[in-house]
Structure 1
Amino acid sequence: MSDPENLAGFEGWVRASLYLSEFLRQLDWRADARGGIGAVSFSWQRPTFLSLHRPSMELFLEQVALVREYMDLRGERSAEILTQLGYPIDYFATILGLNAARNRFTFELIAATQVLTSHVAMVAKHHLACRRPDRLGTTVMPMISTPGHATFPSAHAAEAFAVATVIEGLLKAVAPMKHYPSSERLARLVFKQAERIAVNRTVAGMHFPIDSWAGAALGEAVGQIVLALCGAKSVKVTPRTYVAQNIDFSVSAFRPDLWPGVPADHADPKITGLSRDVDGRGVPVRRSSLFDWLWRKSLDEFRLS
């Protein structure tokens, strides 16, 4: 009973259902609208790992100007935008040289991470209930159909940065394998790809830049939880809070540790609105036998034997 090795005999959708159930049973959230300041907080076995504050209408209206400035990029990015409507796994796979025949479990880990993150993002969207750019600026004119849910946070940004966080954990785990390229350089490329996916949604007229900030914060948190469930070494689930500021989104400000030489004030919480409790103990997450099984299968695909 309950032997994780039984997973090998299940179909993919069955394993996906088990991953989702294992994740959601330990997730909790609270929406607070007191004092006119709306926020939603997510907890894992009680400790809060993410708090998102609802931006003011004035801030969203200020961000409309940033959305309009991105419209000139639609011509060169339309192909990417249209192929990123769903889960853009291939955009990460090309960086790592993954293919479905050799890396089926790595693809499964990435897909599971995206689905889990999407569920969390939809909860946040429901409670925060923020209007899309085309509802606030008539000149935005989205190039694709606006989805039927709220704008803040961006689920595309959340999924992209959750996947980037998990891939970064994979790269650190396979770093001792001498045949694999520089894990640090690849991690930067993966996070730049995540930024590109997030920003493409602003180019398309779907999201404000602050949606990407909130989505990236959510995705990073979920990615860290997935790594902890997998039993990845040296992972820490860092509590974080996002209070939106009127700035554009950039990955160098979000993860300045990956870009040496970036000025310290570039990622100042007073400017970005994102604060992380990096000095605390972190949120305790117990390893899951289900995720550990998938993690080991994924790591095996990077070994040459």
Structure 2
Amino acid sequence: MSLQHGQHGQHGQGAVGPDASSAEGMMAAALMRTRDAIVGTETIAPQAGQDATLEAADRLRRMEPPFRRAVLMSELLEDISFKIEEYPQKRAAARAVTVLRRGGAAAADPLPLARIIRPEVADFGHAAPLVAAYAELRADRLAEILVQKERLIPFVSAILPVTPFRAPAVVEMLETGLDIVTPVVMRAKIALGCPRPSQFSPLVQPMIAEPGHPTLPSGHATQMFTLAAMLSRLTDPGAAIAADSQLYRLACRIAINRTVAGVHFPADSAAGAVLGIQLGRYLMARGQGGTVGSASFDGTAFRDGNQPRDFHYGVLDRMVRGGDPSAGFPDDAAAVRPAPLWQSLCQRAAREWQTRWS
């Protein structure tokens, strides 16, 4: 999101600037002419003002969407921090990163939300042929991959009644969730410094431009699993992870599409799934009240014996049920600190969701 502002040129009385041919320029010129006609040279006598009467949440609703989003992101990110864990013999990349979150008590130490251990370079190298094999699906999934580069919520809207006209607060809640993922996942990526598939072989040849940032965790996977967890908790605040549900199948499909495109390993998707689920749970706990636990992903254990492992909702199911050594979701839920402005949006989203059959 860009909040950059263009430079303002000086306008003479009655002058029409070089931008007058644009819609914005025409509007500015028309407003200037209208004021000159109905105000003239009258001296302004200011009216008596008064202090604000609306609470902050109501003032937030009057702001333009990009600035509302900036406020919400600031509120939500202020409780998130990171712990970087180095290798015993220090390397350029970190061994692990833990996303921390503030607890419910003001003076409490930060609690772990998600810990991610990177795979070794050899693990990625062993998985490169698996990524290359996925290239056979590129023609079949071309449309999906290109659209999903920029737009994810329409795929959710095909499953649930989540559209800007029918559920504007739900859509805004989800869009804010997507925005929150970016600074969190990029902080993890830059710490772990994991290579892309094409670095292991020129035969991978990604079908889309390869991002310039490190690969693990996958940002698209993290975003989609965040959305899945948020929507599951919107329907049921205590919902468990249903790997076989349409939402989580969709999240898996979109994550796998990044491997098909040649820009991500299956391990990237698995790490993104764990981080995304945790972010979605955390966001909804701050918006609905409640608790959230921790989770972990160990990339060095994401393999089948000596063979690289693929990622799909069957693997996800084992991960979340405690049947896979690469993932852990311990029973350690604890309270989170409420986020009042975010709560106001989540409450509106909940009211929309309760009337979705109308």
TM-score tier by shorter-chain length is 0.7 to 0.9
Deviations 1:144-192 (A, max 9, x none): 000110001100000000000001011226x9xxxxxxx9999811111
2:25 matched residue in structure 1: none
Question: What percentage of residue pairs aligned between the two structures are identical?
Answer: 29
1:238 matched residue in structure 2: 293
2:258 matched residue in structure 1: 201
Measured in 2, the distance between the counterparts of 1:213 and 1:20 equals 25
Q: Find out whether 1:15 has 2:68 as its counterpart.
A: yes
Indicate how the Cα distance of structure 1 residues 186 and 199 shifts in structure 2: closer, same or farther if over 3 A, else same. closer
Q: Find out whether 1:217 has 2:274 as its counterpart.
A: yes
2:195 matched residue in structure 1: 131
Q: Find out whether 1:190 has 2:247 as its counterpart.
A: yes
Indicate which of 285, 298, 304 corresponds to 2:349: 298
Are the counterparts in 2 of residues 87 and 114 from structure 1 also a CA contact under 8 Å? no
State the aligned residue count: 284
Are the counterparts in 2 of residues 64 and 136 from structure 1 also a CA contact under 8 Å? yes
Indicate which of 338, 341, 344 corresponds to 1:287: 338
Specify every segment of 5 or more residues in structure 2 that has no aligned partner in the other structure, as ranges.
Answer: 1-51, 103-109, 304-308
Structure 1 position 93, deviation (Å): 1.1
Are the counterparts in 2 of residues 171 and 187 from structure 1 also a CA contact under 8 Å? no
Please say which of residues 26-35 and 158-167 is displaced more in the overlay: 26-35
How high is the TM-score relative to the length of structure 1?
0.87
Structure 1 position 62, deviation (Å): 0.7
Structure 1 position 300, deviation (Å): 2.0
Measured in 1, the distance between the counterparts of 2:297 and 2:315 equals 14
Deviations 1:265-293 (A, max 9, x none): xx5232xx01111x22x243122111111
Q: Find out whether 1:159 has 2:223 as its counterpart.
A: yes
RMSD: 2.3
Structure 1 position 249, deviation (Å): 1.0
Deviations 1:104-123 (A, max 9, x none): 11110111111101211000
What secondary structure sits across from 1:34 in the alignment? coil
1:179 matched residue in structure 2: none
What secondary structure sits across from 2:83 in the alignment? strand
What secondary structure sits across from 1:248 in the alignment? coil
Structure 1 position 257, deviation (Å): 9.8
Indicate how the Cα distance of structure 1 residues 122 and 184 shifts in structure 2: closer, same or farther if over 3 A, else same. closer
Indicate which of 245, 250, 253 corresponds to 2:315: 253
Relative contact order higher in (CA < 8 Å, ≥ 6 apart): 1
Specify every segment of 5 or more residues in structure 1 that has no aligned partner in the other structure, as ranges.
Answer: 176-182, 259-263
Indicate which of 250, 273, 284 corresponds to 1:227: 284
Structure 1 position 256, deviation (Å): 5.3
